[in-house]
Amino acid sequence: MLKHSKTDIQLWHAVRGDDATAFNLLFDRYWVSLYKTAHYYLDDDEVCAEAVNDVFVSIWNRRKELEIASFPNFMQTSVRFQIYKRRKAVKLEIVFKDELIVEGRHETNDGETRIRQAEIDNLLTGHLDQLPKRCQEIFELSRFDNLSNSEIAERLNISKRTVENQLALAVKHLKVCFKHIYLLVVIYFM
């Protein structure tokens, strides 16, 4: 049996030899610190725990091929990458300024704002219609009804991972579709 006094690298070499006990020791050593790192970037306890667990699942699955020289650095980088993937997958913000700057003053033009919003809504609906029906439904529950991934999974009787994957697919599709609009907005308001 391995002692707790073994170094990370010694434990890692044991893990590469399929030693589950060594893996559990590394898990116990790093889980809390990785969770704290994840929580620094995200304020969702469940997503943070999932990101950390995904790091450990990944290293276990890739234990034969990974060469790790500095275990703490590798683990911190891995959890940051997991957080980055999650933030990128679920974050689609279409920001449209509602103000016009006239002679140094900010003035709101409600009519123009409503027209622009209607145009964006029509474009969004058109691009959402290009997605599979289940993907559309998940995206709408997430973005329009403000349901969490867990709530959507429960409501549709599917896994949370499926919800995340479908949201990532929808966001990726919409980013491509709205890329040209974003550039026009940036140019228009500069």
Q: Which residues pair with 99 in a beta bridge?
A: 108
> Of 90, 123, 151, which one is at a domain's C-terminal end?
90
Confidence of residue 93 (pLDDT cuts 50, 70, 90): very low
User: Does some domain include residue 172?
Assistant: yes
Give me the count of residues in the chain. Answer: 190
> Domain of 183?
99-188
Same domain, 80 and 135: no
Exposure string of 124-137, with b = 16+ CB inside 10 Å and e = fewer, is beeebeebeeebbb
CA distance 99 to 139: 28
Q: How many domains does the chain have?
A: 2
Q: What percent of the chain lies above the pLDDT cut of 70?
A: 73
Mean pLDDT of the 160-180 span: 81
CA distance 27 to 32: 9
What's the pLDDT score for residue 35? 92
Per-residue model confidence as pLDDT tens digits over 19-77:
999 999 999 999 999 999 888 888 788 888 888 998 898 889 889 888 888 888 889 88
Tell me the H-state helices in the chain: 8-16, 20-41, 45-61, 71-90, 110-128, 133-143, 149-156, 160-188
Q: Which two tokens stand for residue 124?
A: 């969004």
What's the pLDDT score for residue 178? 64
Mean pLDDT of the 170-190 span: 59
**What's the whole-model pTM score?**
0.46
Per-residue model confidence as pLDDT tens digits over 63-92:
988 888 888 888 988 888 888 877 765 544
Same domain, 14 and 45: yes
Q: At 26, which CATH number?
A: 1.10.1740.10
> Of 41, 70, 90, which one is at a domain's C-terminal end?
90
